[in-house]
């Protein structure tokens, strides 16, 4: 939490080889959801605003998020749950220069740490792993059943907002 009362999100992001969904499904805290993430026009430089529709097998959630980037690993993130009507209203304000980012997210825990694997429909051999950290100086262990190609924390091409603008080609360094 920052002095402004807005939570500080500290995360690392990795490009990984496409994981085995059966192995993921056996991890503690396993959940899977389909996400549609849409960006609104930036309210200010360095600030992004988005809405998200998230479908779980048993429910649908809608969220509104304002994110202020602090560093390559840290951002202040003000996120709130919204109603379907509020989502529809905000969707009408979408940034027309950006596409909605669709992905399947698998979340799980390993040694008490949260991990998320995002699988995008435009890649067949790679996915993105994200993990949140208690502080930026502490590295996060990579689950042994995942194969990291490279860390992409801070690489603009791999932010979801930039994926909404331009999808990078699938990496060849597999």
pLDDT tens for each residue of 119-141: 999 999 999 999 987 766 677 78
pTM above 0.75, yes or no: yes
69 or 110, which is more confident?
Answer: 110
Domains of the chain: 8-165 (2.40.320.10)
For residue range 101-115, what is the model confidence (pLDDT) as tens digits?
999 999 999 988 899
Cite the DSSP H helix spans in 19-157.
21-25, 84-91
Answer whether residue 97 shows pLDDT above 60. yes
């Amino acid at each position: 939490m920052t002095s402004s009362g807005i939570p500080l999100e500290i995360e690392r992001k990795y490009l990984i080889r496409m994981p085995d969904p059966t192995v993921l499904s056996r991890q503690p805290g396993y959940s899977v959801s389909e996400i549609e993430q849409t960006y609104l026009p930036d309210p200010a430089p360095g600030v992004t605003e988005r809405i998200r529709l998230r479908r779980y097998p048993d429910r649908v959630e809608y969220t509104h998020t304002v994110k202020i980037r602090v560093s390559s690993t840290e951002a202040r993130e003000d996120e709130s749950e919204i109603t379907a009507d509020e989502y529809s209203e905000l969707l009408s304000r979408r940034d027309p220069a950006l596409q909605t980012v669709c992905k399947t997210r698998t979340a799980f825990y390993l040694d008490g740490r949260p991990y998320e694997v995002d699988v995008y429909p435009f890649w067949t051999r790679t996915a993105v792993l994200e993990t949140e950290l208690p502080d930026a100086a502490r590295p996060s262990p990579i689950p042994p059943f995942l194969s990291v190609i490279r860390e992409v924390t801070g690489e603009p091409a791999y932010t979801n907002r930039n994926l909404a603008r331009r999808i990078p080609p699938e990496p060849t360094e597999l």
